[in-house]
Amino acid sequence: MSERKDDKLWGGRFDRGPDRVFDEFQRSFSFDCRLLPYELAVNRAWTRALEGAGILTAAEVEQVHNALDRIDDQIQTNPDWVAKSDAEDLHHFTEKALVEELGPLGWKVHTGRSRNELVATDFRLYVMESSAAMQRRAAALAGALADQAQAQFGVPMAGMTHMQHAQPILLSHFLLAHAEAFTRDLARLRHAAESADACVMGSGALSGCSFAIDRQAIARELGFSRITANSLDAVSDRDFALDYLFALGGIATHLSRLAEDSVLFASQEFAYAILPDEYATGSSLMPQKKNPDAWELIRGKTGRITAALFALFTTLKGLPTSYQRDLQEDKEPLFAAHDQVAAMTEIAAGAIRATRFNEERLRAAAANPALLATEVADYLVHKGVPFRQAHDLVGKVLREAERRGISWTALPLEELQKISPAFAADFSKGLNVEAALAAKNVPGGTSPEAVRAAIIELQNRLSKRGASA
Ligand code: ARG
């Protein structure tokens, strides 16, 4: 013990210490301290395994576990201890703390293991826990949209494609469309958690472990359902982090699209939605302004979430087999992406719940007769006209109305019959927004009946998920 010059985890074969700038450059404690709770848990499981392998006695394991409890306590109660530490990384921090508590026994804890496997195991536990928390957030967001769909039930709006008025839909149907996207994110998040769910401990630096540790027992104790299959792969596999970043990128992209719709709907041109004060800001110059900054920032931040995915892809590309220090670059973008998406989901759910809709404007837009043009074609189809021909005939109707400078709904029946004899007295009877909505009565369609069923079905899906989470 006396030959140890300092408390570093390495250095025996070095004559000189590291360059000051390089030393700063290679440190990771400022960000990997976030993994400390997992590192402590892994230390508990590892010392138990060392007992099984005959390296530590039961009494020593108990001493280590008690020391880990005290360290945990101190981390909770004295955040300065972590903030002011000069540790190189979280593994160094933990070993120093154990040695301070236990003396030389603290040095035994690292027997047979490597920081390469520790960091991979900690990071996997972090992704599993973060994915579970993010699933709750994504579900809450889908729930907020489903609740609004229920509250706004019956309000029609002008459905658009290419940002052009297309066909009437229910506002609830529109809100459920966004909710549906977030339910797909739930599946991606679950997949990320599953891909993280394998314990690396026992892989060593790259080749495995020469002590008789029980890998399955370590995995079980830490809450993993399986162990990794190949030590060389396990110390450098970061696919679980890619999967989590992909899931976060999906949420952010869906949020960005919801944000875009929300910004448009709050504009004076649409005036479909009234921005809640709590999620808007004012202008320092123009007193009348109420800006949709919450949605704009959500849309804007999406860039860095997807960038985080590509940052990690780029780091991984071309890495030789086994652990390389480049892998230290995996954590900061993922932590930042997680934090941003956590805030984005919470703010979006709050803004959705607080948004009021301008029913009058929505109804007025839905009442545009042009939205019923397809219904006219469908009417002719019911009269036996082949659809392509019916489409063409409706075009002629619209052109004639345009030529006269009137709405096609104002064209007298005789005029319509000049275009096609299939037009009959029952023509205008069923031609209105309500009938057009009711006609779309397939599962997944916008008829009130289908939308009512969809709201219930989605709420059931979300509450079942809540029960299983
Ligand atoms: N800070 C490192 C990382 O995040 C931990 C493993 C370091 N291993 C090493 N051999 N230097 O990947």
Query: 50 near 44, Cβ under 8 Å?
Result: no
The helix/strand/coil state of 153 is: coil
If you average pLDDT over residues 231-254, what whole number do you get?
98
CA atoms within 13 Å, Cβ hemisphere of 207:
3
Based on the residue annotation, tell me whether 191 is a catalytic residue of this protein. Answer: no
Q: Which of 188, 166, 318 is nearest to 253 (CA)?
A: 188
In this structure, whether the domain defined by 368-445 belongs to CATH 1.10.510.10 is answered with no
Which residue's CA lies nearest to atom 4 of ligand 1? Answer: 328
pLDDT interval class at 17 (50, 70, 90):
confident
Based on the residue annotation, tell me whether 162 is a catalytic residue of this protein. Answer: yes
If you average pLDDT over residues 427-455, what whole number do you get?
95
Helix (H), strand (E) at residue 240:
helix 239-266
In total, the chain counts a number of residues equal to 469
Query: 377 near 394, Cβ under 8 Å?
Result: yes
Q: Check residue 14 and give its pLDDT.
A: 87
What is 101-163 written as a DSSP string?
Answer: HHTTHHHHTTTT--HHHHHHHHHHHHHHHHHHHHHHHHHHHHHHHHHHHHHTTT-EEEEEETT
Measured distance CA(251)–CA(259) in Å, rounded: 12
Q: Write down the catalytic residue from 207, 225, 267, 283.
A: 283
The percentage of the chain sitting over the pLDDT mark of 70, rounded to a whole number, equals: 98
Q: Which of 364, 343, 153, 148 is nearest to 262 (CA)?
A: 148
Whether the CB of 328 sits within 6 Å of ligand 1 = yes
Enumerate the CATH 1.10.40.30 domain ranges in the chain, comma separated: 368-445
User: Ligand 1 centre and the CA of 89: distance in Å?
Assistant: 8
If you average pLDDT over residues 5-17, what whole number do you get?
77
Q: Check residue 427 and give its pLDDT.
A: 86
Q: Check residue 5 and give its pLDDT.
A: 47
Q: How far is CA 263 from the centre of its chain?
A: 21
CA atoms within 13 Å, Cβ hemisphere of 330:
30
> Is the pLDDT confidence value at 465 over 90?
no
Tens-digit pLDDT profile for residues 148-166: 999 999 999 999 999 999 9
Q: Which of 10, 91, 116, 312 to mutate to test the pocket of ligand 1 (most atoms within 8 A of CB)?
A: 116
Q: What is the mean pLDDT of the chain?
A: 95
If you average pLDDT over residues 278-292, what whole number do you get?
87
Whether the CB of 115 sits within 6 Å of ligand 1 = yes
Q: Which of 25, 27, 28 to mutate to test the pocket of ligand 1 (most atoms within 8 A of CB)?
A: 28
Measured distance CA(86)–CA(92) in Å, rounded: 9
If you average pLDDT over residues 192-204, what whole number do you get?
98
- The CATH number that domain 21-111 falls under is 1.10.275.10
> Is the pLDDT confidence value at 16 over 80?
yes
Q: Which range has the worst mean pLDDT, 11-15, 143-147, 303-307?
A: 11-15
User: Ligand 1 centre and the CA of 116: distance in Å?
Assistant: 6
Q: Check residue 469 and give its pLDDT.
A: 45
Q: Check residue 6 and give its pLDDT.
A: 62
Q: How large is the C-alpha radius of gyration of the chain?
A: 31
Q: Which of 31, 325, 326 to mutate to test the pocket of ligand 1 (most atoms within 8 A of CB)?
A: 325
Q: Check residue 175 and give its pLDDT.
A: 98
Measured distance CA(362)–CA(367) in Å, rounded: 9
Q: Write down the catalytic residue from 162, 210, 284, 468.
A: 162
> Is the pLDDT confidence value at 4 over 60?
no
Q: Check residue 444 and give its pLDDT.
A: 98
Q: Which of 215, 214, 220 is nearest to 52 (CA)?
A: 214
> Is the pLDDT confidence value at 2 over 80?
no
Q: Which of 106, 84, 105 is nearest to 94 (CA)?
A: 106
CATH topology of domain 116-365: Fumarase C; Chain A, domain 2 (1.20.200)
Q: Check residue 467 and give its pLDDT.
A: 53
Tens-digit pLDDT profile for residues 212-227: 999 999 999 999 999 9
The helix/strand/coil state of 270 is: coil
Measured distance CA(140)–CA(136) in Å, rounded: 6
> Is the pLDDT confidence value at 206 over 70?
yes
Measured distance CA(407)–CA(150) in Å, rounded: 34
Q: Write the CB contacts of 387 (distance below 8 Å, at least 6 apart in sequence).
A: 377, 381
Tens-digit pLDDT profile for residues 337-380: 999 999 999 999 999 999 999 999 999 999 999 999 999 999 99
Enumerate the CATH 1.10.275.10 domain ranges in the chain, comma separated: 21-111
User: What is the atom index within ligand 1 of the atom nearest the CA of 115?
Assistant: 6
Query: 123 near 184, Cβ under 8 Å?
Result: no
If you average pLDDT over residues 249-261, what whole number do you get?
98
Enumerate the CATH 1.20.200.10 domain ranges in the chain, comma separated: 116-365
Q: How far is CA 189 from the centre of its chain?
A: 7
Q: Which range has the worst mean pLDDT, 137-146, 345-354, 366-375, 422-431?
A: 422-431
Q: Check residue 326 and give its pLDDT.
A: 98
Say what the pTM is: 0.94
User: What is the atom index within ligand 1 of the atom nearest the CA of 331?
Assistant: 4
Q: Write the CB contacts of 329 (distance below 8 Å, at least 6 apart in sequence).
A: 311, 312, 315
Phi, psi of 321 (to 5 degrees): -55, 150
Measured distance CA(412)–CA(429) in Å, rounded: 13
Q: Check residue 428 and give its pLDDT.
A: 82
